[in-house]
A and B are shown apart, each in its own frame.
Chain A
Amino acid sequence: MRATATGKFLLVFRGPKRWAAAALILAAALAAGAATPKPPQPMPPMTPPALAPQRIAMGAFYDGAHVRIDGVAPADAGIVVAIEGSDQGQIFERKGRVGPIWLAVDKIHVKNAPAVFLRYASAPIEALLAGDEIWRYSLDETAIAGHCQMYCRCKCSAMNRTMQSGVNDAVPDSLYAAVLISDFLQIKRHEGSYAVHPSAVQTVSTNGATAYSLDLDWPRSFAPGNYRVTVYACRGHRVVAQSSAVLLVEEIGFPAYMANLAETRPWAYGVVAMLTALLAGFLTDLLTTSLRRRRKPSASGRAQQADSTGQNPPGPLHDAGLAH
C-alpha cells in the first residue's frame, strides 16, 4: 500500500524533478533507518567445546570420571563454563519450628530449576561480566532463583497461614517464596549440585585467539542424563561469543539392564527382588549349617578324646546344645 502511494506521488512530477523527488524520498528513508535502534549483532561463531570424554559410561564399578573441556575463544576473552543438568521437577519437605520442635511443615515442588548447576571461570564471574549480562545468561543463583517456580502444599507454616492445609500446587506469596528459594539454594549448595569455581579455567593467548581448558572430576553422585556444557567468551563485561555441547552420562551393562527392567516391568522386578532376597537368606542359612556340620565330626572327635582322657570338659557350646 505504502509503495503504491509513493509511486502515485512520484507520478505528479515530470523529468528531472521526478528524479530529485525520488532521491529526496530515498534520503528520508535512509535517515529514518539510521534513527531506529540497530538489531543486536549476531555473535561471532565460536567452535563448540571439545569434551573428553563426550559420554560418561556408568558401568557396574563406576566411580565418577575425569572430564576435560577445551576449545578456542576470541582473543583476550575471559571464559565462563556452565554445566546444567536437566530440570525434571524436584520435591522437598521443608522443616520449620513449631514450638520447641522441628517438623516438616510444608511440601515444596520446585520447577524450572536445573538439577545441577556448576560454573567454572577463568576469573570471578562478577569481574568478567556486568550484572545484567549475568542475569541475561542465567549465570548465577540469583538468576536461577528468578526463573524457577515454586509450588507448595501448606501444612502449618506460620508464614503462609492464609492457605488451607491440603492445597495442591499453591503459589506461595512473595515473602514465603523468598524463604523457600533461599532454602532450596542452600540444600543445592550443601549437596554440591550448585557450585561456582572461579579461576578453574586455564587460558592461553595464541595467534589472536584464546585457548582455554578445564579439568574437572565428575561427581559420582550425579544422576544419569544429558548435561549441557556452555562456554561463554567474555570481554569488556559482555558476552562476545558462546557455544555449547552435550555431555551424556548413561548407565551401561548390568546397571542399565536392571534400571530398565525396574522401569519397564516393575512387578516382575519386584517379585524377582523378593525371591532373590528370600533365596539369599535361606542359602546363607544352608551354607552356615553345612559348615557347622562339617566341623562337627572333628569337634566331637576331639571331645570324645578329651572325655576319654578326662581333660577339657565340654564348653559353653555343648551347654547351649549347638555343638551338634
Chain B
Amino acid sequence: MANEQELVDSVEYISASEEALFARGLDGQLIRATDATLDDLDLDVQISIDGNPFAVKKAVPMRNSQGVILANDRGEIIPRPTTIYDAVNQLYVKALGDVNPIPILCHREHLQPVGVCRVCLVEIEERRASGRVKKDLVSSCTYLVKEGMIITTSASQDQPKTVDLIKNSVGIIVELLASEHLTRQDLDEVRNGLNKHDPNELKRLVAEYGKGDKIPRYEPSLLAGNRGQDLSSEIISVNHDACILCQRCTRACNDIKQNDVMAREGKGYDARIAFDTDLPMLESSCVSCGECVISCPTDALTFRTSVVEKQGKKILEQTRKSSGKDGTVVTAEEMLEIPIFSGIPYKFLQFNGGACVRRVLRPGESLCTVGEYGSTAYLIQSGKFEIVVGAKPQNQSRASVSKRPGFFQRALGLTSRSKRVPSLATGSDSGMPGMPGMPVTKEKLYRGVEDVILGEMACLNRQRRSATVVAVEDSEVIEIGTNVLYMLQRNATSRNVLNEAYRRHALNSDIERLPIFKELTPAGRAEAARIIAKDAELMSVEPGQAIFKQGEKSDDIYLIRLGYIKVSRKHGTREQIVSYVGPGAVDGASGAFGEIAALSSIYGSELKVDFDQLDYLPGVRTSTCSALDHVELVRIKSSQLKQIADANPDFKQKLLNRARSLLKKDTERESELSTGKSNFVNQGLYNAQSLLVLDLESCTRCDECTKACADSHGGETRLVREGMRFENFLVATSCRSCTDPYCLVGCPVNSIFREGSKEIVIEDHCIGCGQCATNCPYGNITMVGHQEGFRGEGNMQIPLIQQKATTCDQCKSIGGTPRCVYACPHDAAFRMTGDELEEAVLSRKPS
C-alpha cells in the first residue's frame, strides 16, 4: 500500500497538467511526447553519471537514420529532448572502440526510441517537486535528463549494490525473454559459450546478464514454440517464436525505408509481427529490401541461406569485375574485428558478403582517378598515399575511352578518328571534374592510417572524385561500397570519424580552387584557403531547406561546393524564382552567393553612395536562397573575407566593384521576372546531364527509339516516349544522368552506382527492392521481372520472377552510343544537358 508521500510523488510524477505531455503507446504504456524547444539546444543540464558530474544540453538535434540533422521549413534545427542513454553515450563513447555500458535490445541510435524491452535500465535519483528525492529504475532510451539527476549505470564503480540491482533486473528481463523466445539449442550455445559474432543479441545479453547454471530460470508460456513460421518469402524467413516484439523491424520498415508493410498484430502472448493485413509475407507488399532482417536482434527474421550464398557470389563477381583489380574478400567476421565496423549488424555484412575487398598496392599504383565517378571508399589499413588535387592525367578522358567505333568505322579502319568533342547526339562529355571555372592545381598532399578513410567524398556526395590517389609505399586498404558507408553513418562514433575526414578532405581540396579566389596570386589563394579552412563551416543543406531568407539581416557569405540552390524573391504573396545556381555558376562565376549583404556590412562606408542611390539597406538579404537538392556549402564569416581582402587591395577593389554590379543587377531584375525559369527549376532540368529530348515537330511517333532500346537490351525498353513538354520538345522518360542522382541514395546492396563516367549503372545483384525507383523523382527507373528458377508446390513448378531495377545506361554496356538517338530516322532525338535544352527552348520561343 503506497503511503501518502508516494501518492503525492506519483501524482506529481504524471500530474493532470502533465498528462497532455504524454500519450499512451500501442501497448498501453505511457510514452513521452514532450516537445523540445530551440532554446533547449543551448541549455545546459547538470547531471551526474556514475559519480561523474556532467553537463549535457537539454535537447539534441533530431537526426534521420543517416545522422543528417533535420531542419524545418524555416531552416531551423528540429530539437529532440536528450535522453539518459544520449547523455551516457556522450560521457562514455568518445572514440572508436568505446562502449556505452547500458545494454540495449529494442533501441538503436538510428531508430526512434520506444522503450518496449526495458533492458536499458539505469537507476536515477531525482528530486521531486515535493522536495523528496526518489530513486527509480527507468529505461534510459526514453527517459529524459533533468537538472540534478543522478544516474547510475551498470558501469558504476562506487555503487556496487545498485550495479547488482541493475544487472539482476536486466537479467530477469532477458531470461524471461529467453525462456519464451530462445530454442533449446540456443540456450545450450549460451551455456557453452557463444560465438563472438553471433548475430542474436538476446543470446549475447543472456550470456552476459543471465544468472546461475539454470538459464533461463523461468518456464515458458504454453504458446512458446507454437507461434509458427512464415516461410512464404523467397528472401526472408520469419520465425514468430523467436520474435521478442522489440519493434525494431517495424520501425525499420516504416520509419527508415517508409515501406509501411510491417506492424504488430494481436494482443498479449498472441501478439506478433504481421505484414499488411496479416498476409503471408510473400503475398504482402513487402519489397524484400532486408531492412527488417538487419534490424532484427534475434533469429526471428533471417535471410534464407540460399539467398545469402547466391547474393554473395553475385556481389563478389561484380566487385572483381568493376574494380578490375585483384583483392581478397573480407569476411563479415573479419570486418567486425575492425573497430569502425563494430556497430554494423552482422546480418548486413553477411548479406553483402564480397562487398568489402582488401587491396594491396605497390608504390605508384593508383587507387582512384580525379574526375571519375566512384561508388567505393577505401579504409586505410597501412601505408601512405599521395593525393593530387585537381589534376587529371591527360590520357584518361572518359569520352575517348568509352567511344567505341561503329561497324563502318571498324570496317573502314577509321577507328583512330574518335572525337573528343562533346556531342549532342551521343551526349558524351569531355569529363573535366570539379567546379567549373576552378583553376587546376597540382598541389600534393599525403594521407596515411591516421586519416582512416579515402575516397569517401565521391560516395557520399555522388560527385566526381576530386583527387587522384596514388600509393607512395606498400599500402593496404579495404575497399567498401556506399551501402557500407551508409551503415557506418547510423552509428554516432563512426559517423563522427567519417564526418571529420570528409570535412578535412573537402576543405583542403576545394577552397583554394574556388572561382572567387581566382583573381588572387597563388600565395594569396593559399593564404585565403588557410584563413577559411580554420574557421569556415562546412554545411550540408537538404532539398527545400532555406539557407537565408529575403529581408533577413546576416553577413555570412556562402561558397557552393556541391548541388544547386534556388534564388527567389517574393512579390506580394507570390514567390518568383530569379535563378538557380550551382558550383561556380553564381553571377560572374564566383562560386559564391550572399555577397551583397556580407560586403555591405563590412564595407558599408565605401559603398554608401551606391546603397543610397539604389535604396538598399546594408546587411539585408535581397532574395531567398534555398537548396534544390543535396547542397554542400562553405559558410565564411564576413570578418574572414575582410581579413583576406584587406591583405589584397586589388582583390578588395574587385569585391567592391562586384558588390556594386550585383546590387545594380538585383535592382534591374525586379522588372524582368518571368515564369519560364520556375518551370525549368521545378522540373529539375538544371540537374540533368543527359536528357533524352524529342523534337515533336520532327518526331513522327514511329517509336524507332523505343524499339531500338528494347532490341538492344533484351527486349525490355529503358525509355518511355512520354514526359514533360517544353515548347516543341518532349523530355522522354529515360535516365538523365543527374549531377546529383537521388537514385543512388540508400541502395542496400550498392548495385546502383556510377563508375568512371556519368551513366548510372544497375548491376545484376540488385535485389529488386525498388528503393532507387522510389527515389527517382522522374520515374526513370522501372522494375522488370527476370525469371530466376522455380518453386516447387506439390507437383507444380511455379516460375520465380525476380524483380530488378532497370534504367538507361545510355548504352554504356553495349558500346556507349545511345541506340535511341542512333536509330531515330528523323533526327528528332537528342541527348542534351538541361542547360542546352533551355537554350534550345528559348531559341524557339517567339520573342
Q: Do A and B come from one complex?
A: no
Chain B residues close to A by CB (< 8 Å): none
